[in-house]
Structures are given as structure tokens and as C-alpha cells.
Amino acid sequence: MNSGTFASVRELAFRILVKSANSEAYIEDQVQESGTGLDSRDFARLRYLVTTVVRRKLTLETVLRHFVKRSVEPDLWQLLKLGAAQILFGDADHRHADVNETVEVARAIGKSRWCKFLNGVLRNLDRAILTTTETSSLGRKVYPINSELDLRALSLDLFTDPDVDFPGYISEAFSIPRWLVERWDARQNRSEILRMAGWFLSSPRMCLRVNLHKVSREELLQQFEKAGFSGRAGNIKTSILDVNAASPHELPGWETGYFSIQDETAQHAAPLLDPQPGECVLDLCAAPGTKTLHLAELMGEEGEILATDVSKSRLAKVRENAKRANIDIIRTRCIARDGHDLPEGPFDRILIDAPCTNTGVLGKRIDVRWRLTKSDLEELPALQRELLDRAAVRLRRGGAILYSTCSIEPEENERVVESFLQSHPDFSCTHQQTFLPGAPADGGFQALLVFSNAL
């Protein structure tokens, strides 16, 4: 489908949502695939529609259950959520049109029998929103409409009372599985949880890491400005935030490797490992290669980096990024998930960006929250520990391992490191850091494990 009206984009959004309900593919990938041929304005609209429904799934279902008193077909349920998302979170001045355009989707796909029901449910929902009442307090009628925690009130008590059941309210109003909120509630203060939950409502922002070996941040920002783009210096010396480009490919310096796309939290990893020129470095779980490039930059592009991953197609991304940046010290190798077929080494330094639950980046990986289970927190730490063990026997004495995750769960972070150190007395943890989501970037964990020189 080519560029069209918002109504036609809404129909495409509906078809993606129906398809995604029976697919293991990530929603962002499905949007990219289905949006081919749309102009930038329509693609942005498509992405917003689909990701809002997926990101706010539990809030939408909590609200709609009060207006839908009978069972409905799965596809109709998806269309109801699509319409309700715009009414609940969108521009108040556009709500009447949102109802009409959602009904038109039913007619366009040959489901005219849905039209009266859709119109009735969505009109009732629209009438339930208190457009003249401002509130700054959470409550049974209140929900956030964005990551800035702007609140909107309903005329009905639709949510769990936050004073009685705080995890239940956060789960429903912010669309996070209750079991996750309960875990956080056991170890974080509630203002922190509220801030994290708000961060997870935000759309992924474009954060750049400047290759300071090729250009200064100030020079790159000047190049952006001359080309008609804007941005601002980030919170660390290598980062640029708030770039107003739809894609990094539009920006000057992309094709010459002046910058990469990387969140500020991830930008701390390679400097902590501190690879030196001429060293031999292993990058485990490397794809798509952003940290790999950072390692190469810090090495002055002297030495050797072996980038490994379980996916051949994702390793192709590593090579593609290295070619773009004109870096030739990176080799790639496909390995088994448990790393048993890793080369013997020895390596001077090893980066393990371990497979994890991704609970620190739920705003960026929006469908992960609906795929996670409690059993993942039992299975993944075993794999993480196995990768650490395999890396340890391939490290040169005096070398270091950086263990990194995108998780904020202790089972995947501190406890994995503690378990490793107990069985590897020649190693010590010299630095450990936890990043909570939104303070000010993505959440994650990094630990530097040094292998003693002593025999």
C-alpha cells in the first residue's frame, strides 16, 4: 500500500495487529516490513498506532472490559483496542474523527456487521472521559496518557485503587505485567517505580554515540545544523539526544561512521572494559555490533575483535556496520547459544552482552513485556552463568570480562556475578553499576571482572 489517508493507515495498522497476534515476529519488525512504500508522515502514523496498542495493551483491555459485556471475535477485539487507544491517549479534538475512522476500517475490510457495535462502544468510551476535569493525583478514575505522566480522568472507577493495591493499579494504568510490578515493589520505593513505569510509556528516542576519533560532538552538531537537523549534547561526552531526523541515514556523518545509534547506558560498557590498541578482544552476543564498533574505536582500530552471535543474519548486521564505519579489525563467527564452540583464545578482554529478560528496556522493546514469564528468571541466569564460565577459561591472566545485561533483575545481575566469583577465586569484581530505567536513560547492569595476574 502506498501513501494514503489516516483512515487507510489505520486499516494497515489493524492488519498488522491481527497478524501479530499469531506471530512470533517482533512488532517493530512487522511495522517496518508492512510500512514499505509509505511516505514518512504516514509511516510515523502507522508506527504510532500499532506501538500504542501494543504498549498500552493491558490498559486498553482493562477499560474496554467495562464497555464490552459480551464475547467478541479476536479481530474485532483488536479493532476495538485500536479505536480505544486513540480515544484514551490521543488528541481530545480528534476523538470524534477517531471513532468514525475506526468504524470505516470495519466497513473497508468487509465487516459492516461490526459497525454499529464499534460505534456504540467507542462513543460510550468517549463520553466517559472527563474533558473539563484536571487532576494531579492517581486514582481509580485516572490514567497517564504519556511518559510525562500527564493524567486524564474518566467518569467511572475503572482501575484498581492505588492506595489499596499499588502493584495492581500500576499494572493496569501503565500496562506492565503485575508480577513484574510486584517484584519491583518488593525492592524499590514507589516513587521510583512510578518514574520507571512512566519511562516505559515513552517511544524510543534516537540517541547517538559520536565516534570521537573521527569528529567532535560539537563539529557533528554543527554539521547537523547546516543540513537542517537539530540535536543537543547528551548526558555523557559521547552522546547526542533529541535529533529531529526520522532515520539516522538522513544525517550527515552516517555513511562515514561519525556516529552510531546507541543509548547512553550502553555507551558506558566499552569504556568500562577499556580495550587497548593491539589487543585481542572477544565480543560475545555481539549483534548488531554497536558495542563492537565502540570497542574498535577505543582500540584506535588496532588489534583484533572477534564478534560472535547465534544468528547468522544478525552477524551480517555487524559486518554491515563495520563496513559503514570503515573498520577492518572485526571478524565474525556464528556460535551455539551456550557458547560451547567458542574459539580457545586466549583473549585479552571479553565483553558478554548476555541474553536477558530486557526488563530495563521495556519502553524500547514494547512486546517483550507480554512475552516474559517468571520461568525466564529461572532459565536465563543459568545460561548467563554458563557464558561467563566459558569466557573465563578463554581469558588471559590479567585480562578482564565485562558482564552486561539490559535487565534490572538481581537474579540476572548481582546474583550471577556473586555465583561466578564464588567458583572463580582468581577473579575479582572491580566495578559494578546498575542503571535504573529513565535515570536518565535505559535500564541495565554492568560488572567488570578482572582475572588476577598471580599464579
Residue 273 lies inside a defined structural domain of this protein:
yes
pLDDT at 68: 97
Identify whether residues 50 and 179 lie together within a single domain. Answer: yes
Identify whether residues 223 and 74 lie together within a single domain. Answer: no
Q: 249 vs 18, 252, 261, CA distance in Å?
A: 30, 8, 11
pLDDT at 2: 40
Using DSSP, state whether 438 is helix, strand or coil: coil
Residue 284 lies inside a defined structural domain of this protein:
yes
Identify whether residues 376 and 430 lie together within a single domain. Answer: yes
The per-residue pLDDT for range 94-146, each reduced to its tens digit, is 999 999 999 999 999 999 999 999 999 999 999 999 876 667 799 999 999 99
Residue 233 domain boundaries: 208-261
Q: Which of 115, 285, 406, 429 is catalytic?
A: 406
pLDDT at 3: 39
Residue 4 pLDDT grade (very low, low, confident, very high; cuts 50, 70, 90): very low
Q: What is the CA radius of gyration of the chain?
A: 24
Q: What percent of the chain has pLDDT over 90?
A: 88
pLDDT at 210: 98
Residue 135 lies inside a defined structural domain of this protein:
yes
Distance CA 139, CA 161 (A): 6
Sheet holding 280-284, edge to edge: 330-334, 304-309, 280-284, 347-353, 395-405, 444-451, 427-435
pLDDT at 122: 98
Residue 1 lies inside a defined structural domain of this protein:
no
Identify whether residues 273 and 254 lie together within a single domain. Answer: no
Residue 446 lies inside a defined structural domain of this protein:
yes
pLDDT at 51: 96
pLDDT at 24: 86
Identify whether the C-beta of residue 322 lies closer than 8 Å to the C-beta of residue 293.
yes
pLDDT at 40: 83
pLDDT at 326: 94
- Please report which helix (H) or strand (E) contains residue 221, including its range: helix 217-226
pLDDT at 1: 38
Identify whether the C-beta of residue 437 lies closer than 8 Å to the C-beta of residue 174.
no
CATH number at 183 reads 1.10.940.10
Final residue in a domain of this structure, among 261, 278, 294? 261
Q: Cα-flanking dihedrals φ and ψ of residue 245, to 5°?
A: -105, 145
Identify whether residues 358 and 445 lie together within a single domain. Answer: yes
pLDDT at 133: 61
Identify whether residues 246 and 385 lie together within a single domain. Answer: no
Cβ neighbors of 347 (< 8 A, separation 6 or more) are: 280, 281, 282, 306, 394, 395, 396, 399
Identify whether the C-beta of residue 53 lies closer than 8 Å to the C-beta of residue 17.
yes
The per-residue pLDDT for range 371-392, each reduced to its tens digit, is 999 999 999 999 999 999 999 9
pLDDT at 246: 83
Tally of structural domains, the chain? 3
- Residue 5: pLDDT over 60: no
Identify whether residues 315 and 408 lie together within a single domain. Answer: yes
Identify whether the C-beta of residue 386 lies closer than 8 Å to the C-beta of residue 339.
yes
pLDDT at 397: 96
Place of cell 559520536: 210
- Residue 27: pLDDT over 50: yes
The per-residue pLDDT for range 256-299, each reduced to its tens digit, is 999 999 999 999 999 999 999 999 999 999 999 999 999 999 99
pLDDT at 175: 98
Residue 443 pLDDT grade (very low, low, confident, very high; cuts 50, 70, 90): very high
Q: Is 356 a catalytic residue?
A: no
CATH number at 369 reads 3.40.50.150
Identify whether residues 193 and 213 lie together within a single domain. Answer: no
Residue 61 pLDDT grade (very low, low, confident, very high; cuts 50, 70, 90): very high
DSSP-derived letter for residue 399 is E
Which pTM was predicted?
Answer: 0.93
Identify whether residues 400 and 336 lie together within a single domain. Answer: yes
Average pLDDT on 190-219 reads 95
- Residue 423: pLDDT over 90: yes
Distance CA 127, CA 119 (A): 12
Give the DSSP letter string of 294-318. HHHHHTTT-SEEEEEES-HHHHHHH
Q: 440 vs 6, 195, 233, CA distance in Å?
A: 34, 10, 14
Residue 336 lies inside a defined structural domain of this protein:
yes
pLDDT at 7: 57
pLDDT at 453: 84
CATH number at 253 reads 3.30.70.1170
Identify whether residues 238 and 364 lie together within a single domain. Answer: no
DSSP-derived letter for residue 205 is P
Q: What percent of the chain has pLDDT over 70?
A: 97
Identify whether residues 182 and 283 lie together within a single domain. Answer: no
Cβ neighbors of 210 (< 8 A, separation 6 or more) are: 216, 217, 220, 238, 239, 240, 258, 259
pLDDT at 156: 94
Identify whether residues 184 and 222 lie together within a single domain. Answer: no
The per-residue pLDDT for range 408-420, each reduced to its tens digit, is 999 999 999 999 9
